[in-house]
Amino acid sequence: MSGTDHVRRAGPGDAERLAGILAEGFMDDPVSRWLFPDAEDRASRHPAFFRVFTDHVLARGAGYLTTTNDAAALWLDVDPEGPQAPEIAEELLAAALGPNLDRFRTLDALMQAGHPHQPAHAYLPFVAVLPRRQNHGIGAALLRHRLVALDATGTPAYLEASSARSLRLYERLGFTSLPATIELPDGPEMYPMWRPAHR
């Protein structure tokens, strides 16, 4: 899949599907392995964890799916000059994360510290492809769908790559690494990346 005609915007009825794709796609991700160190706990908690974020984004941003339901992306608009969206309720995160809540607090604080404040931009917190469908260009096509729209409005984009492999994909799509990485305690690095709008 290389075109953008196989992508659709998700609706409220897609929340469980979005969360399921993200949960499966991130199962072996370095940051997820750090956040949920126990593999069985990760498999058990991932769907509820990603459902918290899926519900949040569908209410305040936009989710996208491939029409074959093998890839998903969540996007949020960030405008430092506009009204600030409410944060995810602590009790929802606590229920989803269980004993991993403190690790998430550390991760969240580091990510917020590294997130650029200016200018207004689109933020990609999560994108995933089902493991059996990876390495077929599906993730790139899903992202291009949104990036074409952002380019049309002159909107830059920001994300944190969670592995060197994903960093290379984002570089091919026009993202460049910011100077500082995010270093998780006794864990992997994350790579903040910025993409100016392409005209």
Q: What is the CATH number of the domain that holds 162?
A: 3.40.630.30
- On whether residue 99 sits in a domain, the answer given is yes
- On whether residue 177 sits in a domain, the answer given is yes
Q: Where are the alpha helices (DSSP H) in 28-137?
A: 30-35, 39-60, 90-97, 101-114
- On whether residue 1 sits in a domain, the answer given is no
Q: 9 forms bridges with which residues in the sheet? A: 64
- On whether residue 2 sits in a domain, the answer given is no
CA–CA dist 39, 42 (Å, integer)? 5
**pTM above the 0.85 mark?**
yes
- On whether residue 152 sits in a domain, the answer given is yes
- On whether residue 136 sits in a domain, the answer given is yes
Centre a 10 Å sphere on the Cβ of residue 77 and count the other Cβ atoms it contains. 14
CA–CA dist 131, 83 (Å, integer)? 37
Joined together, the tokens standing for residue 99 give 């004993």
User: Which has more confidence, 80 or 65?
Assistant: 65
Q: Which residue has the tokens 């403190």?
A: 102
pLDDT band at 84 (very low <50, low <70, confident <90, very high): low
DSSP element (H, E) containing 180 = none
- Per-residue model confidence as pLDDT tens digits over 141-175: 999 999 999 999 999 999 999 998 899 999 999 99
| Mean pLDDT estimate for the chain | 93
> Omega into 12 within 30° of 0, i.e. cis?
no
Nearest CA-CA partner of 12 in 46, 61, 48: 61
- The domain total for the chain is 1
Cβ-count burial 89-106 (b if 16+ within 10 Å, e if not): eeebbeebbeebeebbee
- On whether residue 170 sits in a domain, the answer given is yes
- On whether residue 127 sits in a domain, the answer given is yes
Domain that holds residue 52: 7-81+89-195
